[in-house]
Structure 1
């Protein structure tokens, strides 16, 4: 779409200009008691009235400059009542009304100002502005045409006129105006680019290209104009024609990243992979080339991954980038982004940590490092980095959540609770995060065996989100282990499996609640469903299944399940004793 945003509202409010208008207006009035106005009607006004009108005008201008527009308008109105033929008064009243949004009334005064004095360009500009605000671009354009044709030295407003024609989708008229501007000012970048946009919108690509070439011929040393024309050619599927311009840019400025990138893209599309990479390597390995341009380019490659064709190229460019800018935080960070996108989390963390060594005030980098460490189950690293980040960003609730979670997994329940309590205070405006933090507070206090605080935290989390699966699972399971509030435990675990009928972990929780309540047949049913979820089967589930079978009198089957559980993770410390004695022992 053609850019017409360079229409600028021109509101003339400076004291000097206003006083000049006062002088012009009343100077004309002072020439005679019965001076004729421009419409030929005698302007009957006494000397005393003339001075009174002038007094109100000057006072109005004073309040106008003080931005007391209501008082200013009142005084201008008094002046207008005495001398309705003062163009300056009508102009000021129109100006205030336009500023307040009363365009219809403003238009009456603005047109009257022009009628009384058609030699003042500011009257035309204000009236055109009012028409523009009323979306009457046709009338606004007419006023500009009249002003430019009748008043001298107003060619700069041809750009505003062209924009008004663009708003009306009168592209041929806009072109005509830009040609008039070019005849007066010569070949200029702004004019050329606007004409190109119009030609492109009209589908006249060859004319757009010709305009770009004319600009290059006029300013042959300006590389940017060659690059712009190359972009026009590329965007209109004329990549091969763009190559000479891009090569010319690189001859003038070998470190031009945009030209290198565009040229490499053309080579790559043409199957010239080697030439494509050579072009980019030259740019990326050049330390004098702006690092931000390289980072943005590599970010563009990352956004297109996964793509086997681009993966190798992106990795090679990242190597070039680090070699050229080893101490640049953005170079390290974008290399981390690349490795993370490729699934190389260890490598990604290394780059992010290096970036933090260069600049530890980047919150996103801290978040990236800690998130990766949580995924890698490096809870010691996550806890340590969370503490370091909190020293720099003490008001970020997420950092306390990360730290609390890491300590929770490490079974350092006191530090977990301290972090989570601090995070809770900061997360009040984020219900989702607040719910997660409070839910994990329930786990921390359960680990500390502070069961009243644990239960209170779980209940608070469920008030925030009654369908919080994490809380429904842990709360009901811990109640079953404590053999307390079993009705509440059953209510929660039942809701959990109704929402997640195929999740083995949740089915096991519900089964264990049933087991503790003595409903062994129902417990067996849900445990067998849990065992069907092969991905989530753990030693805990298999051991629980053995316990249920024992309760149902199936001793041999129970022992077989216990043996199977022992070969897996997450069993109780009593598993060996159960197998050896062929008896059920419970903690």
Structure 2
């Protein structure tokens, strides 16, 4: 029961703000632990029943989050049995949250006094002393716990920390010695004692500590390398080299020993020998990938100082064949090559290698895709994106660029199906602008298929995700104008595009045409003139629109001039242009 209530009390402490607010709002006096003097008279059966009932009720209220009522119930329990350690412990937790530190401490102390064999009560009391800055009292409790509960390591571990805070180094060592007796000699304990001895200026004892670790585990070369590293860090160069060489004599292909010797030569300033040993370790198949990665990163950092890019690339060329399960080295190589602006062809070779090892590597596939998109190589983009739908179905960018690539090579059905699959993969975390672009493309394809109702529904969805999607606004507005419907909304949408990109000839043409359809010919002429002026490559549609608008403003000669230009253009698809020229008048389609 006590252990269960201990766990429940921790839940109450975690709800600090709620408890504090509710307790402060209760209009009653706080019961003092002084009232908890032991009763000489045992509880009657009736008192025991009442006590158990109110204790269970207090726990229920606490679990329900009614902390003020729970505390009141615990106080009532204490009035029935002032010697209940359980109740005192619970009340102490409440007082701690309320900021009544003195009362909390008194309750914790009394609970421990009444139940001295409860490990959790004592640990909580010691932690309370720690948090309230009473370090000496905390140490006293933990020392008592270490003696009382010899099978538990927690008190000794905490004593190491507390003595360390007080810079009481002899007692730190004493606590570590007791831990070693309990758990056995270990690297962690020996290294802690080593550092403490150095702080105590006991250099000889520091080295003896690590040497004793080696003697304890004579067959573990890792501890010998630790000893060598300690020698190296403290300028005992000959001892370090002798220790490293001894390991290599026992295990000639030990990569950590090879790295240790490399570190020795680096400290000695013997760069050529350092590089030889480092290369040997890097090319050792027993070297783990994380360490190999760390070394390559350091080589890259060093190369930034020396400018020796060739050495870095040479090492990548040698180590990449050693990776079998992950492509981490190849990714690092690709990132380095991109940073150094190396030829894309060489980077692509590395990225292709990555995808052979890790076909689900999103970063590598996206980088390859960026090259294909930049070069408008849509067939390549399709080849890159299609496998991604299997390996990375959650990455909606692959659906988008696959759909775009299908669209660009006139595979509109495949494009539409891909875009529709893509939006189904979208989540709340997906880029809203990208989802908007999906729906814009769905709308465009539906319009090409003469499904205007579906097109407009898709455009509406696009604008839900991004009300400022310029492409959607323009296409939606233009297609509405072609149907001569909802022209006010079309004008509003088109005007947004012109404001956003005032020199975009396509958007200017759309806005001019909407004004034309609304009979505002003079305004339309201003915008169509800007559209013509800003066209990089003249188009038949814009040129014909210009002629139509000029005609309606009364300038028939200029209208004919533009119509005649339009009919000669390769992209002319007008069904009425010849008749306009022949009849010298505007004919609506």
How would you bin the TM-score normalised by the shorter chain?
Answer: 0.5 to 0.7
> How far apart are the structure 2 equivalents of 1:494 and 1:303?
52
Aligned to 2:167: 172
Q: Deviations over 1:324-355 (max 9, x none)?
A: 23675444444444444444444444444444
Give the Å deviation of 1:160: 0.7
CA shift digits 1:43-94 (9 cap, x unpaired): 7446x9699979989xx99x99xx9999x99999999777755xxx51x445
- Report if the CA contact (8 A) 2:477-2:494 is conserved: yes
8 Å CA contact 2:379–2:405 kept in 1: the answer is yes
Indicate if the aligned counterparts of 2:241 and 2:264 stay in contact, CA closer than 8 A.
no
Is the CA contact 2:478–2:510 (under 8 Å) kept in the aligned structure 1?
Answer: yes
1:189-228 maps to which residues of 2 (within 5 A)? 189-191=187-189, 193-194=191-192, 213=207, 215-220=209-214
Query: Is the counterpart of residue 507 in structure 1 residue 498 in structure 2?
Result: no
Partner residue in 2 for 1:29: none
Give the Cα separation in 1 of the matches to 2:203 and 2:497. Answer: 65
Partner of 2:435: 434
Q: Deviations over 1:497-522 (max 9, x none)?
A: 43345xxxx52223333564464454
RMSD: 6.1
User: Which residues of structure 1 form unaligned runs of 5+?
Assistant: 1-10, 16-40, 532-537
Call closer, same or farther: CA 1:356–1:265 in 2, change over 3 Å: same
Q: Verify the 8 A CA contact 2:244 2:261 in the aligned structure 1.
A: no
Equivalent residues, number: 507
Deviation of residue 267 (structure 1)?
A: 8.1
Relative to structure 1, is the Cα distance of residues 385 and 94 closer, same or farther in structure 2, using a 3 angstrom cutoff?
A: farther
The aligned runs of 1:346-425 (5 Å cut-off) are 346-362=345-361, 365-425=364-424
Secondary structure of 2:376 counterpart: coil
For 2:392 and 2:481, the matched residues in 1 are separated by: 39
Distance in 1 of aligned mates of 2:369 and 2:256 = 35
In 1, distance between residues paired with 2:191 and 2:401? 52
Residue pairs, 1:295-334, within 5 angstroms: 295-298=293-296, 309=307, 311-325=309-323, 328-334=326-332
Per the TM alignment, residue 135 of structure 1 is displaced from its structure 2 partner at its CA by 6.6
* 8 Å contact from structure 2 (residues 473, 493) kept in 1: yes
Decide whether the 8 Å contact of 2:481 with 2:490 is kept in 1.
yes
Greater relative contact order (Cα < 8 A, sep 6+): 1
Do residues 285 (structure 1) and 283 (structure 2) align? yes
User: Is the alpha carbon distance of 1:151 and 1:464 closer, same or farther for their aligned partners in structure 2, counting shifts above 3 Å?
Assistant: closer
Deviations 1:283-337 (A, max 9, x none): 3322222124324544676799988826434322321122323675444444444
User: What per-residue deviation string (whole Å, max 9, x for no partner) do you get for residues 158-195 of structure 1?
Assistant: 431242466xxx4423x343133256567864355557
Say whether residues 1:464 and 2:465 are aligned partners. yes
Give me the whole-angstrom Cα distance separating, in 1, the residues matched to 2:445 and 2:203. 69
Q: Distance in 1 between matches of 2:375 and 2:471?
A: 20
2:447 maps to 1:454: no
Task: Give distance in 2, aligned partners of 1:544 and 1:240.
Answer: 81
* Contact persistence 2:130–2:138 (CA under 8 A): yes
Counterpart in the other structure of 2:14: none
Q: Is 1:495 the equivalent of 2:496?
A: yes
TM-score, reference length from structure 1:
0.63
CA 1:233–1:55 in structure 2 vs 1: closer, same or farther (change >3 Å)? farther
CA shift in 2, pair 1:558/1:270, >3 Å:
farther
Counterpart residue number, 2:21: none
Q: Distance in 1 between matches of 2:95 and 2:71?
A: 14
Report the TM-score when normalising by structure 2: 0.62
Rounded to whole Å, the distance in 1 between the matches of 2:236 and 2:95 is 51
Change (3 A) 1:558 1:295: farther
C-alpha separation between the residues in 2 aligned to 1:497 and 1:179? 77
Change (3 A) 1:139 1:214: same
For residues 284 and 48 of structure 2, what CA distance do their matches in structure 1 show?
72
Deviation per residue, 1:219-253 (Å, 9 max, x gap): 3467656877999999xxx8988998599658547
Give 1:36's aligned residue.
Answer: none
55 and 445 in structure 1: CA distance in 2 versus 1, 3 angstrom threshold:
closer
What secondary structure does 1:539 align onto?
Answer: coil
Change (3 A) 1:193 1:110: same
Provide the rounded CA distance (Å) in 2 between the counterparts of 1:481 and 1:347.
50
- Shift of the 450–543 alpha-carbon distance from structure 1 to 2, 3 Å rule, reads closer
Counterpart in the other structure of 2:175: 181
Q: Greater shift after overlay, 314-323 or 213-222?
A: 213-222
Higher mean C-alpha displacement, 370-379 vs 431-440? 370-379
Change (3 A) 1:242 1:132: farther
Alignment of 1:549-560 (within 5 A): none
Distance 2:434 2:205 in 1: 56
Question: Aligned equivalents of 2:392 and 2:171: distance in 1?
Answer: 56
8 Å Cα contact 2:77-2:87 kept in structure 1: no
Pick closer, same or farther for the CA change 1:453–1:131 going to 2, 3 Å: same
TM-fit CA distance, 1:110: 3.1
SS in 2 for 1:463: helix
Contact persistence 2:228–2:243 (CA under 8 A): no
Kindly report which structure 2 residues correspond to 1:55-66, keeping only aligned pairs within 5 A, or say none: none
**After alignment, is 126-135 or 305-314 more displaced?**
305-314
Q: Please tell me whether the aligned partners of residues 490 and 513 of structure 1 are also in contact (alpha carbons under 8 angstroms).
A: no
Aligned position for 1:129: 127
Corresponding residue of 1:111: 109
Please list every run of 5 or more consecutive structure 2 residues that lacks an aligned counterpart in the other structure. Answer: 7-36
Q: 1:258 to 1:370 in 2, by over 3 A?
A: farther
